[in-house]
Amino acid sequence: MAEPIRVLVTGAAGQIAYSLLYSIAKGDVFGKDQPIILVLLDITPMLPVLDGVVMELQDCALPLLREVIPTDKVEVGFKDLDAAILVGSMPRKEGMERKDLLKANVAIFKTQGEALEKYAKKTVKVLVVGNPANTNCLIASKSAPSIPKENFSCLTRLDHNRARSQVAIRVGVPSDSVKNVIIWGNHSSTQYPDVHHAIVNNHGKEMSGFDAVNDESWLKGDFITTVQQRGAAVIKARKLSSAMSAAKAICDHMRDIWFGTPDGEWVSMGIYSTGNSYGVPDDLMYSFPVMIKNKTWKVVDGLSINDFSRGKMDGTAAELVEERDTALTFLGA
């Protein structure tokens, strides 16, 4: 059997992690023959809860799970990591200004980036989930200069899955009959879910997303706002944020990094923007369509972008530039 890999999950006592850890430990993400050492990091007040999570993982009797290490110390949490899934972040509290939220999270992700730099393997693959995910990811990567920027990504797969599912429901086909939707930009309400290049297998016949849906005003209107505001809708209904669907998206994202994307298919992930063909400013973590092979992503280049899409892509980029510039002032301070 392979040597165990070390996988860190932060915010490990929280509800996303509770939906996530079983899938990782069971082999759904890193493979059915890959033993795992799970490292669970959370803040000190959450350690008693974390002990309960450890008990449950033990009680699952999972053959791939070689060891579970609960901790509140970064030097333990980040040591020799193969993969880091950074779920924990400061949540937005009522009446909190966005920049106050940014400031609190810059401090957290600077610390975690520095810990990656100091303790983790240089080959570590880092997925940032905690919001604001794109900017948190950028701060973590800037705080770990010796780890390649392309090893960092942030989660827009949940938005991608939401978009895919909305189209599938609308057409009346299973979700795996819809491929190549795109999420451009920020994991926020400015993101742009784009169906212009999507392909739908409509009961045996392949057609474009627009032809399959056959309702342009929905695709350019309610579809976009539904995906953009889905997280808020779940909170309103459940009084808790998306956990089951977020955990599934994390699994999808990490499994695709590990094993690659299917031929002819791309997925969306927030990655470091540098010299792309879409006019997206450099030095952002921006969600692009990517194909993955040998644990390395490549942006899908050369897709045609119409004026409608251009405006949406630029709008979400502008928000990310503003977030980045605000965050960098905090980083400097």
State yes or no: is 197 an active-site residue.
no
CA–CA separation, 106 and 333 (whole Å): 11
The model's confidence at residue 99, banded by pLDDT at 50, 70 and 90, is confident
pLDDT score, position 229? 95
Give the span between the Cα atoms of 243 and 57, in whole angstroms: 18
Question: Within 13 Å and on the Cβ side, how many CA atoms surround 167?
Answer: 35
∠ CA 280-286-290, rounded to 5°:
95
Binding-site annotation, residues: 42, 92, 98, 105, 129-131, 162
Mean pLDDT, rounded, of the chain: 96
- What digits encode the pLDDT tens for the residues 285-324? 999 999 999 999 999 999 999 999 999 999 999 999 999 9
- The catalytic position among 187, 196, 197, 203 is 187
Q: Which of 132, 112, 130 is nearest to 324 (CA)?
A: 132
Which architecture does CATH list for 5-154? 3-Layer(aba) Sandwich (3.40)
Average pLDDT of the residues in 236-246 = 93
Does residue 88 contact residue 130 with C-beta atoms inside 8 Å?
A: yes
What's residue 209's pLDDT? 98
Residue 65 contacts by C-beta under 8 Å, 6 or more apart in sequence? 25, 35, 36, 38, 57
Q: What's the pLDDT score for residue 98? A: 77
Residue 328 has pLDDT above 90, yes or no: yes
H/E stretch holding 23: helix 15-26
Where residue 333 falls among pLDDT bands split at 50, 70, 90? low
Q: Which amino acid is at 279?
A: G
How do residues 200-233 score in pLDDT, each as one tens digit? 999 999 999 999 999 999 999 999 999 999 999 9
3-state secondary structure 68-95: EEEECCHHHHCCCCCEEEECCCCCCCCC
Contact 158, 253 (CB under 8 A): no
Dihedral sign of CA atoms 281, 278, 258, 177 in order: positive
Q: What was the pLDDT predicted at 97?
A: 79
**Cis omega (within 30 of 0) for bond into 4:** no
| Confidence band, pLDDT 50/70/90 cuts, at residue 273 | very high
Tell me what the mean pLDDT of segment 110-134 comes to. Answer: 97
Cα separation of 305 and 106, whole Å?
33
Spell out where the chain has E strands: 5-10, 36-41, 65-71, 83-86, 125-128, 152-154, 178-179, 182-184, 192-194, 199-202, 205-208, 267-272, 285-293, 296-299
The pLDDT score that the predictor gives to residue 274 is: 95
Task: Give the pLDDT band (50/70/90) at residue 94.
Answer: confident
Indicate the pLDDT class of residue 332, thresholds 50, 70 and 90.
Answer: confident
Task: Give mean pLDDT, residues 70-82.
Answer: 98
Which of helix, strand or coil describes residue 288? strand
Class of CATH domain 156-324: alpha beta
Domain segments of the chain as ranges: 5-154, 156-324
**Residue 16 pLDDT more than 90?**
yes
pLDDT of residue 264: 95
DSSP H or E segment with residue 165: helix 157-171
For 52-81, what is the mean pLDDT? 98
pLDDT (0 to 100) of residue 265: 98
Annotated binding site for NAD(+): 42, 105, 129-131
Q: What is the pLDDT of residues 165-192, one digit of tens each?
A: 999 999 999 999 999 999 999 999 999 9
Residue set of the binding site for substrate: 92, 98, 131, 162
